[in-house]
Amino acid sequence: MEAHRRVGVAVDFSPCSNRALQWTVDNLVREGDHLILLNVSQQSDYDNGEIQLWEATGSPLIPLAELCDPVIMKKYGVKPAAETLDIVQTAARQKKIEVLLKIYWGDAREKICEAVNTTPLDCLIMGNRGLGTIKRAIMGSVSNYVVNNASCPVTVVKGDSH
Judging by DSSP bridges, how do beta strands 62-63 and 98-105 pair with one another? antiparallel
Q: Reply yes or no on whether the pLDDT at 130 is more than 60.
A: no
**Predicted local confidence at residue 141, as pLDDT:** 81
Q: Are 101 and 137 in contact (CB under 8 A)?
A: no
> Is residue 72 classed as helix, strand or coil in its secondary structure?
helix
Q: What residue numbers bound the domain in which 18 lies?
A: 6-157
- Find the CATH number of the domain harbouring 109: 3.40.50.620
Flag whether 43 is in a domain.
yes
Closest CA to 109 of 146, 139, 140, 158: 146
Number of domains in the chain: 1
pLDDT digits (tens, 9 = 90+) for 136-160: 444 458 888 999 999 999 999 987 6
Flag whether 82 is in a domain.
yes
Torsion of CA 125, 82, 77, 13, to 10 degrees: 30
Q: Are 72 and 66 in contact (CB under 8 A)?
A: yes
Closest CA to 12 of 39, 31, 30: 39
Flag whether 162 is in a domain.
no
pLDDT digits (tens, 9 = 90+) for 49-87: 566 667 778 889 999 999 999 998 888 888 999 999 999
Flag whether 1 is in a domain.
no
